[in-house]
Amino acid sequence: MQTKREDKMTTTNESQSGWVRATAIAAAFAVPAAFAAPAIAQEYPSPDETLDWTIAFGPGGGNDIMARTIIEILNTYDLYPGDISAENRAGGSGAVGWGYLYAQSGNPYGISTTSGSFVTTPLQADTPWQPEDFTPVALLATDDLVLVVNGSSEIETVEEFIAAAQERPMNIGGTGTVNVDFIVPTLFAQRAGFEFDYVSFNSMSEQTTALLSDALDAMVGNPGEILGLIESGELRPLVFSGQNTPAALEGVPTMAELGYDIGVSMPRGLILAPDAPAEAQEWWINTMQQVVETPEWDEYIASNTLTPTVIYGEDFRTFLENTKNGFEEVLRSVGAID
Protein backbone atom coordinates (compact mmCIF):
# COMPACT_ATOMS: atom_id res chain seq x y z
CA MET A 1 0.00 0.00 0.00
CA GLN A 2 1.39 3.37 -0.99
CA THR A 3 1.72 5.90 1.77
CA LYS A 4 -0.16 9.18 1.81
CA ARG A 5 1.77 10.63 4.68
CA GLU A 6 3.81 13.10 2.68
CA ASP A 7 0.57 14.99 2.03
CA LYS A 8 0.43 16.16 5.65
CA MET A 9 2.31 18.83 7.52
CA THR A 10 5.22 17.23 9.33
CA THR A 11 6.96 20.41 10.44
CA THR A 12 8.14 19.98 14.01
CA ASN A 13 10.36 22.92 14.85
CA GLU A 14 10.86 26.61 14.16
CA SER A 15 13.66 26.17 11.65
CA GLN A 16 11.50 23.89 9.54
CA SER A 17 8.60 26.36 9.77
CA GLY A 18 10.89 29.16 8.63
CA TRP A 19 11.97 27.09 5.66
CA VAL A 20 8.35 26.45 4.76
CA ARG A 21 7.65 30.18 4.82
CA ALA A 22 10.71 30.88 2.69
CA THR A 23 9.87 28.29 0.06
CA ALA A 24 6.25 29.43 0.00
CA ILE A 25 7.32 33.00 -0.76
CA ALA A 26 9.83 31.84 -3.35
CA ALA A 27 7.14 29.77 -5.03
CA ALA A 28 5.27 32.93 -5.89
CA PHE A 29 8.10 33.73 -8.29
CA ALA A 30 8.41 30.22 -9.72
CA VAL A 31 6.93 31.37 -13.02
CA PRO A 32 8.65 34.23 -14.89
CA ALA A 33 6.96 37.60 -14.59
CA ALA A 34 6.59 37.64 -18.36
CA PHE A 35 4.37 34.56 -18.22
CA ALA A 36 1.28 34.99 -20.32
CA ALA A 37 -1.58 32.54 -20.14
CA PRO A 38 -2.42 31.01 -23.51
CA ALA A 39 -5.50 32.58 -25.04
CA ILE A 40 -8.31 30.07 -24.72
CA ALA A 41 -9.23 28.59 -28.07
CA GLN A 42 -12.76 28.74 -29.41
CA GLU A 43 -12.89 25.08 -28.45
CA TYR A 44 -11.32 24.06 -25.17
CA PRO A 45 -9.07 22.20 -24.77
CA SER A 46 -6.90 22.76 -27.80
CA PRO A 47 -4.94 19.67 -28.94
CA ASP A 48 -2.02 22.03 -29.61
CA GLU A 49 -1.67 23.09 -25.96
CA THR A 50 0.15 20.86 -23.44
CA LEU A 51 -1.61 20.51 -20.10
CA ASP A 52 0.80 21.53 -17.32
CA TRP A 53 -0.12 19.23 -14.43
CA THR A 54 1.54 20.15 -11.13
CA ILE A 55 1.93 17.45 -8.47
CA ALA A 56 2.80 19.33 -5.28
CA PHE A 57 4.58 16.36 -3.66
CA GLY A 58 7.18 13.78 -4.57
CA PRO A 59 6.65 10.55 -6.50
CA GLY A 60 4.85 7.63 -4.90
CA GLY A 61 2.73 9.47 -2.34
CA GLY A 62 -1.01 9.90 -2.16
CA ASN A 63 -1.16 13.12 -4.16
CA ASP A 64 1.09 11.67 -6.86
CA ILE A 65 -0.94 8.46 -7.07
CA MET A 66 -4.22 10.33 -7.45
CA ALA A 67 -2.90 12.67 -10.13
CA ARG A 68 -1.38 9.88 -12.19
CA THR A 69 -4.52 7.75 -11.81
CA ILE A 70 -6.64 10.57 -13.25
CA ILE A 71 -4.14 11.12 -16.08
CA GLU A 72 -4.15 7.41 -16.90
CA ILE A 73 -7.95 7.40 -17.04
CA LEU A 74 -7.96 10.49 -19.27
CA ASN A 75 -5.55 8.75 -21.64
CA THR A 76 -7.27 5.37 -21.53
CA TYR A 77 -10.64 6.83 -22.50
CA ASP A 78 -9.26 9.55 -24.82
CA LEU A 79 -10.89 12.23 -22.71
CA TYR A 80 -8.13 14.81 -23.19
CA PRO A 81 -7.13 15.63 -26.79
CA GLY A 82 -3.63 17.00 -26.20
CA ASP A 83 -0.45 16.08 -24.37
CA ILE A 84 -0.30 16.07 -20.57
CA SER A 85 2.95 16.96 -18.80
CA ALA A 86 2.89 15.84 -15.15
CA GLU A 87 5.64 17.39 -13.00
CA ASN A 88 6.41 16.73 -9.33
CA ARG A 89 7.08 20.17 -7.84
CA ALA A 90 7.62 19.23 -4.21
CA GLY A 91 8.62 21.45 -1.31
CA GLY A 92 7.21 23.30 1.69
CA SER A 93 4.41 20.76 2.27
CA GLY A 94 2.86 21.69 -1.06
CA ALA A 95 3.68 25.41 -0.92
CA VAL A 96 6.10 25.24 -3.86
CA GLY A 97 3.85 23.32 -6.23
CA TRP A 98 0.67 25.23 -5.51
CA GLY A 99 2.65 28.47 -5.52
CA TYR A 100 3.76 27.60 -9.04
CA LEU A 101 0.16 27.12 -10.13
CA TYR A 102 -0.96 30.26 -8.31
CA ALA A 103 1.49 32.31 -10.39
CA GLN A 104 -0.26 31.14 -13.59
CA SER A 105 -3.42 33.17 -13.00
CA GLY A 106 -5.77 32.95 -15.97
CA ASN A 107 -4.02 29.99 -17.57
CA PRO A 108 -6.59 27.37 -18.64
CA TYR A 109 -3.83 24.77 -19.05
CA GLY A 110 -2.45 24.84 -15.50
CA ILE A 111 -3.93 22.21 -13.19
CA SER A 112 -3.21 20.41 -9.92
CA THR A 113 -4.60 17.98 -7.38
CA THR A 114 -5.24 18.81 -3.72
CA SER A 115 -4.75 17.09 -0.38
CA GLY A 116 -4.86 17.92 3.33
CA SER A 117 -1.85 20.23 3.13
CA PHE A 118 -3.73 22.37 0.61
CA VAL A 119 -5.72 23.59 3.62
CA THR A 120 -3.22 23.32 6.48
CA THR A 121 -0.10 24.79 4.82
CA PRO A 122 -1.49 28.33 4.41
CA LEU A 123 -2.59 28.31 8.07
CA GLN A 124 0.97 28.11 9.33
CA ALA A 125 3.14 29.30 6.45
CA ASP A 126 3.32 32.69 4.76
CA THR A 127 1.93 31.53 1.43
CA PRO A 128 0.78 34.12 -1.13
CA TRP A 129 -2.27 31.96 -1.83
CA GLN A 130 -5.29 30.58 0.00
CA PRO A 131 -7.22 27.42 -1.03
CA GLU A 132 -10.19 29.43 -2.26
CA ASP A 133 -7.99 31.51 -4.62
CA PHE A 134 -7.79 28.72 -7.19
CA THR A 135 -10.46 27.79 -9.74
CA PRO A 136 -12.30 24.82 -8.23
CA VAL A 137 -13.09 21.83 -10.42
CA ALA A 138 -14.14 19.04 -8.07
CA LEU A 139 -13.77 17.41 -4.72
CA LEU A 140 -13.34 13.77 -5.71
CA ALA A 141 -12.76 11.93 -2.44
CA THR A 142 -11.84 12.52 1.17
CA ASP A 143 -9.04 11.05 3.19
CA ASP A 144 -10.24 10.18 6.67
CA LEU A 145 -8.63 8.66 9.76
CA VAL A 146 -9.22 5.65 11.94
CA LEU A 147 -8.50 5.58 15.69
CA VAL A 148 -6.79 2.33 16.67
CA VAL A 149 -5.39 0.67 19.77
CA ASN A 150 -2.95 -2.20 20.18
CA GLY A 151 -4.58 -5.47 19.22
CA SER A 152 -3.72 -6.81 22.68
CA SER A 153 -5.37 -3.86 24.46
CA GLU A 154 -8.11 -4.51 26.99
CA ILE A 155 -10.14 -1.83 25.21
CA GLU A 156 -12.48 -3.54 22.78
CA THR A 157 -14.83 -0.73 21.72
CA VAL A 158 -14.82 3.04 21.24
CA GLU A 159 -17.26 3.35 24.14
CA GLU A 160 -14.74 1.64 26.40
CA PHE A 161 -12.03 3.94 25.07
CA ILE A 162 -14.05 7.07 25.85
CA ALA A 163 -14.86 5.81 29.34
CA ALA A 164 -11.20 5.04 30.02
CA ALA A 165 -10.10 8.42 28.62
CA GLN A 166 -12.57 10.17 30.91
CA GLU A 167 -10.87 8.49 33.85
CA ARG A 168 -7.36 9.48 32.77
CA PRO A 169 -5.97 11.32 29.71
CA MET A 170 -4.87 8.99 26.94
CA ASN A 171 -1.68 9.32 24.87
CA ILE A 172 -2.75 9.48 21.20
CA GLY A 173 -0.10 9.43 18.48
CA GLY A 174 -0.15 11.02 15.04
CA THR A 175 2.20 12.00 12.25
CA GLY A 176 3.17 15.67 12.32
CA THR A 177 2.03 18.54 14.48
CA VAL A 178 -0.28 21.18 13.03
CA ASN A 179 -2.31 18.96 10.74
CA VAL A 180 -5.33 16.69 10.50
CA ASP A 181 -3.76 13.98 12.69
CA PHE A 182 -3.89 16.52 15.52
CA ILE A 183 -7.22 18.13 14.60
CA VAL A 184 -9.26 14.92 14.38
CA PRO A 185 -8.61 13.58 17.90
CA THR A 186 -8.86 17.12 19.29
CA LEU A 187 -12.38 17.58 17.95
CA PHE A 188 -13.37 14.03 18.86
CA ALA A 189 -12.18 14.54 22.44
CA GLN A 190 -14.04 17.83 22.74
CA ARG A 191 -17.29 16.29 21.55
CA ALA A 192 -16.96 13.03 23.52
CA GLY A 193 -15.88 14.79 26.71
CA PHE A 194 -12.39 13.49 27.42
CA GLU A 195 -8.84 14.83 27.45
CA PHE A 196 -5.74 13.42 25.79
CA ASP A 197 -2.05 14.10 25.23
CA TYR A 198 -1.03 14.30 21.59
CA VAL A 199 2.31 12.68 20.74
CA SER A 200 3.81 13.76 17.42
CA PHE A 201 5.89 11.43 15.23
CA ASN A 202 7.80 12.01 12.01
CA SER A 203 6.52 8.87 10.31
CA MET A 204 3.78 6.27 10.48
CA SER A 205 6.33 3.52 11.13
CA GLU A 206 7.59 5.31 14.24
CA GLN A 207 4.16 5.80 15.75
CA THR A 208 3.07 2.26 14.90
CA THR A 209 6.15 0.90 16.67
CA ALA A 210 5.32 3.05 19.69
CA LEU A 211 1.75 1.76 19.82
CA LEU A 212 2.73 -1.88 19.41
CA SER A 213 5.28 -1.50 22.22
CA ASP A 214 2.58 0.05 24.47
CA ALA A 215 4.34 3.42 24.59
CA LEU A 216 1.05 4.87 23.29
CA ASP A 217 -2.55 4.22 24.28
CA ALA A 218 -3.87 4.83 20.76
CA MET A 219 -3.07 6.48 17.44
CA VAL A 220 -4.79 7.84 14.34
CA GLY A 221 -3.85 6.93 10.80
CA ASN A 222 -5.09 6.59 7.25
CA PRO A 223 -6.76 3.18 6.93
CA GLY A 224 -4.85 2.41 3.75
CA GLU A 225 -1.52 2.74 5.54
CA ILE A 226 -2.30 0.39 8.41
CA LEU A 227 -4.89 -1.93 6.90
CA GLY A 228 -2.50 -4.89 6.91
CA LEU A 229 -1.91 -4.51 10.65
CA ILE A 230 -5.65 -4.20 11.24
CA GLU A 231 -6.38 -7.32 9.19
CA SER A 232 -3.68 -9.27 11.04
CA GLY A 233 -5.14 -8.26 14.40
CA GLU A 234 -2.06 -6.36 15.53
CA LEU A 235 -4.11 -3.17 15.60
CA ARG A 236 -7.77 -2.86 16.64
CA PRO A 237 -9.87 -0.17 14.92
CA LEU A 238 -12.32 1.66 17.18
CA VAL A 239 -13.87 4.51 15.23
CA PHE A 240 -13.64 6.15 11.79
CA SER A 241 -13.64 9.92 11.28
CA GLY A 242 -15.39 9.97 7.89
CA GLN A 243 -19.08 10.06 7.17
CA ASN A 244 -19.17 6.54 5.74
CA THR A 245 -17.11 3.56 6.86
CA PRO A 246 -15.14 2.03 3.94
CA ALA A 247 -15.72 -1.63 3.12
CA ALA A 248 -12.27 -2.54 4.44
CA LEU A 249 -13.36 -1.35 7.92
CA GLU A 250 -16.81 -2.91 7.87
CA GLY A 251 -18.36 -2.91 11.33
CA VAL A 252 -16.30 0.03 12.62
CA PRO A 253 -18.63 2.92 13.63
CA THR A 254 -18.14 6.48 12.45
CA MET A 255 -17.82 9.40 14.83
CA ALA A 256 -20.96 10.85 13.27
CA GLU A 257 -22.95 7.68 14.00
CA LEU A 258 -21.97 7.99 17.65
CA GLY A 259 -23.14 11.61 17.77
CA TYR A 260 -19.64 13.09 17.59
CA ASP A 261 -19.58 14.39 14.01
CA ILE A 262 -16.38 16.42 13.64
CA GLY A 263 -16.91 17.59 10.07
CA VAL A 264 -13.24 17.23 9.13
CA SER A 265 -11.88 15.53 6.03
CA MET A 266 -8.79 15.92 3.88
CA PRO A 267 -9.92 17.09 0.44
CA ARG A 268 -8.62 15.14 -2.53
CA GLY A 269 -9.73 17.21 -5.46
CA LEU A 270 -8.83 19.00 -8.67
CA ILE A 271 -8.13 22.70 -9.21
CA LEU A 272 -7.16 25.00 -12.06
CA ALA A 273 -5.06 28.16 -11.83
CA PRO A 274 -6.76 31.22 -10.32
CA ASP A 275 -9.17 33.04 -12.64
CA ALA A 276 -9.14 30.27 -15.23
CA PRO A 277 -11.74 30.85 -17.97
CA ALA A 278 -15.24 29.60 -17.24
CA GLU A 279 -15.07 27.41 -20.36
CA ALA A 280 -12.10 25.53 -18.91
CA GLN A 281 -13.75 25.05 -15.53
CA GLU A 282 -16.94 23.76 -17.16
CA TRP A 283 -15.02 21.39 -19.43
CA TRP A 284 -13.12 19.88 -16.51
CA ILE A 285 -16.27 19.49 -14.41
CA ASN A 286 -17.96 17.61 -17.25
CA THR A 287 -14.86 15.49 -17.81
CA MET A 288 -14.42 14.56 -14.16
CA GLN A 289 -18.05 13.48 -14.05
CA GLN A 290 -17.02 10.86 -16.61
CA VAL A 291 -13.77 9.96 -14.81
CA VAL A 292 -15.46 9.10 -11.51
CA GLU A 293 -17.83 6.69 -13.30
CA THR A 294 -15.01 4.47 -14.59
CA PRO A 295 -14.08 1.11 -13.02
CA GLU A 296 -10.49 2.33 -12.77
CA TRP A 297 -11.59 5.14 -10.47
CA ASP A 298 -13.63 2.74 -8.34
CA GLU A 299 -10.53 0.58 -7.98
CA TYR A 300 -8.43 3.59 -6.99
CA ILE A 301 -10.92 4.58 -4.27
CA ALA A 302 -11.12 1.03 -2.91
CA SER A 303 -7.39 0.26 -3.00
CA ASN A 304 -6.52 3.51 -1.23
CA THR A 305 -9.36 3.20 1.31
CA LEU A 306 -10.72 6.64 0.47
CA THR A 307 -14.24 7.96 1.06
CA PRO A 308 -15.95 8.74 -2.28
CA THR A 309 -17.16 12.33 -1.87
CA VAL A 310 -17.90 14.29 -5.04
CA ILE A 311 -18.65 18.03 -5.11
CA TYR A 312 -18.27 20.15 -8.24
CA GLY A 313 -17.38 23.73 -9.10
CA GLU A 314 -18.19 26.55 -6.72
CA ASP A 315 -19.57 24.13 -4.15
CA PHE A 316 -16.01 22.79 -3.88
CA ARG A 317 -14.73 26.32 -3.24
CA THR A 318 -17.28 26.66 -0.42
CA PHE A 319 -16.15 23.31 0.98
CA LEU A 320 -12.54 24.49 1.00
CA GLU A 321 -13.43 27.77 2.73
CA ASN A 322 -15.47 25.99 5.39
CA THR A 323 -12.76 23.39 5.95
CA LYS A 324 -10.06 26.05 6.30
CA ASN A 325 -12.17 28.09 8.73
CA GLY A 326 -12.89 24.99 10.81
CA PHE A 327 -9.23 23.99 10.94
CA GLU A 328 -8.18 27.53 11.84
CA GLU A 329 -10.70 27.76 14.67
CA VAL A 330 -9.48 24.51 16.23
CA LEU A 331 -5.79 25.33 15.86
CA ARG A 332 -6.20 28.81 17.34
CA SER A 333 -8.29 27.52 20.23
CA VAL A 334 -5.51 25.21 21.35
CA GLY A 335 -2.70 27.67 20.64
CA ALA A 336 -1.21 25.68 17.75
CA ILE A 337 -1.16 28.80 15.56
CA ASP A 338 -1.21 32.52 16.45
Q: Which residues of the chain does CATH 3.40.190.10 include?
A: 146-249
Q: What confidence score (pLDDT) does residue 14 get?
A: 35
Which of 3.40.30.10, 3.40.640.10, 3.30.70.20, 3.40.190.150 is the CATH number of 5-143+266-333?
Answer: 3.40.190.150
Spatial strand order in the sheet of 84-88: 84-88, 51-55, 110-113, 266-272, 135-143, 307-312
Can you name the residues that pair with 215 across neighbouring β-strands? none
Which is higher by pLDDT, 211 or 325? 211
Query: What number is the average pLDDT over the span 247-271?
Result: 92
Q: What confidence score (pLDDT) does residue 127 get?
A: 94
Q: What percentage of the chain has pLDDT greater than the value 90?
A: 61
Banded model confidence at residue 3, pLDDT cuts 50, 70, 90: very low
Q: Give the tens place of pLDDT for each residue, 91-130.
A: 888 899 999 999 999 999 999 999 888 998 899 888 999 9
At residue 8's C-alpha, the angle toward residues 323 and 203, to 5°, is 145
Distance between CA atoms of residues 296 and 314, nearest Å: 26
CATH topology of domain 146-249: D-Maltodextrin-Binding Protein; domain 2 (3.40.190)
Q: What confidence score (pLDDT) does residue 37 get?
A: 53
Q: Which residues of the chain does CATH 3.40.190.150 include?
A: 5-143+266-333
What average pLDDT does the structure give for the chain?
Answer: 87
Task: Give the predicted TM-score (pTM) of the model.
Answer: 0.76
Q: Give the tens place of pLDDT for each residue, 129-144.
A: 999 999 999 999 988 9
State yes or no: pLDDT of 41 exceeds 50: no
